[in-house]
Structure 1
Amino acid sequence: MAMNRTINNITVVGTGVIGNGWIARFLAQGYDVVAFDPAVGAEERTRKAIDHAWTSLEQRGLALGASKDRLRFINTMEEAVAEADFIQENVPEREDLKKSVLGNIDRYAKPEAIIASSTSGIIPTTLQSNLQYPERFIVAHPFNPVYLLPLVEVVGGESTDAAIIKEACGLFEKVAMKPLVIHKEIDGHVADRLMEALWREALHLVNDGVATTEEVDTAIIYGAGLRWAQMGPFLTFHLAGGEQGMRHMLEQFGPALKLPWTKLKAPELTDALKERVIEGCESYAGNQSVADLEHKRNEFLVKLLDLVEEYWPESKSLVKE
């Protein structure tokens, strides 16, 4: 089914936080985007979200021809996907809902169009099981804010054509993303499983009275987080081993891995734990609204991405031939 063609027409189905992030990224890279979302007020919310993201996108650098005016909302699914070369689905994380929406997309889209889902946890084989053309379906899971963070996890299902994955990765690289192809399906993919492991331990620390939410955040901000932005956990530990790198690190610290430091199971999310987490976050945020915090986050990410690119200018594509 796959062919060497240029992907020009992009449709985004579902315009929540993630869908709007996709739209902003595609627009900033000079694409025309069609959006579909039957919710009342969807277009108004999307255009407001694009305005909010545009300052950061301008700081990162817009592609030639990039314009917020290249977005069109279409009132029916059939018309929205009819001419699309690539369709990104972003409806809420419910398997029955996603299957229903993907089925409609599959029915109305031209057979050669690529269909991608932003699902953070459902494996593609499950979502493509009832499609007429399952070979053109992939998971393309991004990270919030999608318009700034470059990682996108790309996963094919049992019926996915390998050429479709390659074509999709080509598109993602054109819109300044880092596609990470995951070759073995697993619930939650890779990045979210890593984040969930940290989140699970953070909840235990708060639940057991070991640390407050602010103290946990401080431990990450001024410790692991600074290193992970450049190297990630494996290369960080490679440096911890001195001249012999990871070999010495595992020989010296490997036995400690047997110690029961990790609780593995999440704590019961009781009302008391929820209130402790909520009150901790609200206290830590102080008078700053969520919008204020998002603005500061975006300013930080723009500067951080510039720094990452400065230190990894030779960064190679993650897509294996």
Structure 2
Amino acid sequence: MRLVEVVGGERTDPKAVDAAIRTYAHWGRVPVRLNREIYGHIGNRLATALWREAVHLLAEGVATAAEIDRAVVEGPGRKWALTGPFESYALSGGDGGIRRFLEPFSPGIQRRWDDLGTPQLDAETRALIATSVESALTGTSGRQRQRERARRLVALSRLLDSGDRES
């Protein structure tokens, strides 16, 4: 992954953070400036939030691990390869942008937020996850799936890098 999250401490000269960002960009990385330190990283925290809800949906019997994975890959995952959550929703607002999107959709979004789960990773939930994932992944080895994912990530990276994107 090319993402590098950069954060300075309370006594770090902002010029040092700027220099680090320039250096990482020069090396072909994609630096993201954090305004303050947090536990974990932005990318990991966002992935963890999605994972938590995926586990909740599985534990509640809403869908299998395979169906949840498919919903992410074929739904928001495709958009998220090109735009993050804020830009994706801003684009949904058309010419009115994020403000036009938020105006009518905020009540429904809030209802979904209020309904998000907080599953516990106890022994029962871990066993359910393992059983559902193992059932979905039968027939191919982990190494085969890793190679296929790596091949597809390289192809996706080349496609994304071929565009004229500025973030």
TM-score (norm 2): 0.88
Offset at residue 235 of structure 1 (A): 1.6
Q: 1:269 to 1:263 in 2, by over 3 A?
A: farther
Offset at residue 243 of structure 1 (A): 3.2
Alignment of 1:262-273 (within 5 A): 262-263=114-115, 266-273=118-125
Alignment of 1:53-92 (within 5 A): none
1:198 is aligned to 50
1:74 is aligned to none
The alignment status of 1:174 with 2:4, answered yes or no, reads no
Q: 1:169 to 1:157 in 2, by over 3 A?
A: same
- Of 54, 75, 91 in structure 2, the residue corresponding to residue 239 of structure 1 is 91
Aligned partner letter, 2:35:
H
Q: Unaligned regions of 5+ residues in structure 1, if any?
A: 1-148, 317-321
Residues in 2 aligned to 1:294 and 1:262: alpha-carbon distance in whole angstroms: 36
What SS is found at the alignment partner of 2:6? strand
Offset at residue 256 of structure 1 (A): 1.8
Aligned partner letter, 1:211:
A
1:9 is aligned to none
2:161 is aligned to 309
The structure whose residues are more often helix, as a share, is 2
1:185 is aligned to 37
Offset at residue 287 of structure 1 (A): 2.7
Residues in 1 aligned to 2:80 and 2:142: alpha-carbon distance in whole angstroms: 25
What SS is found at the alignment partner of 1:152? strand
Residues in 2 aligned to 1:202 and 1:153: alpha-carbon distance in whole angstroms: 25
TM-score (norm 1): 0.48
Q: 1:216 to 1:265 in 2, by over 3 A?
A: closer
For the Cα contact (< 8 Å) 2:56–2:117, is it kept in 1?
Answer: no
Please list every run of at least 4 consecutive aligned residues from structure 1 whose deviation after the TM superposition is greater than 6 angstroms: none
Higher RCO, 1 vs 2 (CA within 8 Å, ≥6 residues apart): 2
Aligned partner letter, 1:286:
T
Q: 1:204 to 1:314 in 2, by over 3 A?
A: closer
Q: 1:203 to 1:153 in 2, by over 3 A?
A: same
- Of 137, 140, 152 in structure 2, the residue corresponding to residue 285 of structure 1 is 137
Aligned partner letter, 1:278:
A
Q: Can you list the C-alpha shifts for 1:229-287, whole angstroms capped at 9, x where unaligned? A: 00111121122223322222111101223315445663122222111111222222223
Q: 1:156 to 1:268 in 2, by over 3 A?
A: same
Residues in 2 aligned to 1:314 and 1:254: alpha-carbon distance in whole angstroms: 29
The alignment status of 1:215 with 2:67, answered yes or no, reads yes
Q: 1:263 to 1:184 in 2, by over 3 A?
A: farther
**If you compute each CA radius of gyration, which structure gives the higher value, 1 or 2?**
1
1:299 is aligned to 151
Residues in 2 aligned to 1:164 and 1:225: alpha-carbon distance in whole angstroms: 34
1:226 is aligned to 78
Alignment of 1:253-268 (within 5 A): 253-263=105-115, 266-268=118-120
What SS is found at the alignment partner of 2:5? strand
Residues in 2 aligned to 1:209 and 1:314: alpha-carbon distance in whole angstroms: 40
